[in-house]
């Protein structure tokens, strides 16, 4: 997970709209390097700040992401990172209301200094709809 570590500018866009600057997202090692802490600082008052703790899943070849935001939302995602591809998904009901399946698919650039991706949602876990796009650009 070392390619994530650093500070990134986060931009988001809905279908057909110009990207807006969402603020900064930082990934840093936590708890003696055992977990990766992801946290945001937002520029827009209507977009929640969030934090997540990412750690190895002891029984799988992937990670667990425990997400929390300033609206009180709590979610648990399954995450993978292979060959420059970053995925996060949740298909089972968790703490989210309303309940829906959700996934993120992102790709690191060859130089690992940007990530382009998008969130998708699904009511049935089979048919996926574009929710919004994200672009991360490394600052440091």
In tens, the pLDDT along 8-57 reads: 999 999 877 888 999 999 999 999 999 999 999 998 888 999 999 999 97
As a whole number, mean pLDDT of residues 114-125 equals 93
- How far from each other are the two terminal CA atoms of the chain, in whole angstroms? 16
Q: Which homologous superfamily is 2-138 in?
A: Calycin beta-barrel core domain (2.40.128.20)
pLDDT of residue 44: 85
Q: Are 101 and 121 in contact (CB under 8 A)?
A: yes
Q: What is the mean pLDDT of the chain?
A: 92
In the chain, % helix, strand, coil (3-state, to 5) comes to: 0, 60, 40
Report angle CA 116, 122, 126 to the nearest 5 degrees.
100
Domain boundaries, the chain: 2-138
In this structure, what are the phi and psi dihedrals at residue 108, rounded to the nearest 5 degrees?
Answer: -75, 140
Whose CA is closest to 119, among 82, 94, 86?
86
> For residue 97, what pLDDT is reported?
60
Q: Which of 48-57, 98-107, 120-129: highest mean pLDDT?
A: 48-57
List pLDDT tens digits, range 59-70: 777 999 999 999
0.85 exceeded by pTM: yes
Beta bridge mates, 23: 10, 42
DSSP state for residue 105 in the 8-state scheme: E
Give the tens place of pLDDT for each residue, 49-92: 999 999 997 777 799 999 999 999 899 999 999 999 999 999 87
């Amino acid at each position: 997970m070392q390619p994530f570590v650093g500070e990134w500018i986060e931009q988001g866009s809905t279908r057909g709209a110009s990207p807006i600057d969402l603020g900064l997202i930082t990934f840093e090692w936590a708890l003696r390097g055992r977990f990766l802490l992801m946290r945001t600082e937002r520029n827009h008052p209507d977009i929640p700040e969030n934090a997540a703790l990412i750690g190895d899943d002891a029984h799988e070849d992937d990670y667990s992401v425990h997400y929390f935001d300033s609206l009180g939302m709590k979610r648990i995602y399954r995450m993978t990172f292979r060959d420059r591809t970053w995925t996060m998904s949740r298909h089972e009901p968790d703490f989210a209301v309303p309940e829906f399946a959700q996934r993120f698919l992102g790709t690191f650039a060859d130089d690992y200094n940007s990530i382009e991706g998008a969130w998708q949602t699904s009511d049935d876990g089979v048919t996926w709809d574009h929710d919004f796009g994200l672009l991360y650009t490394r600052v440091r």
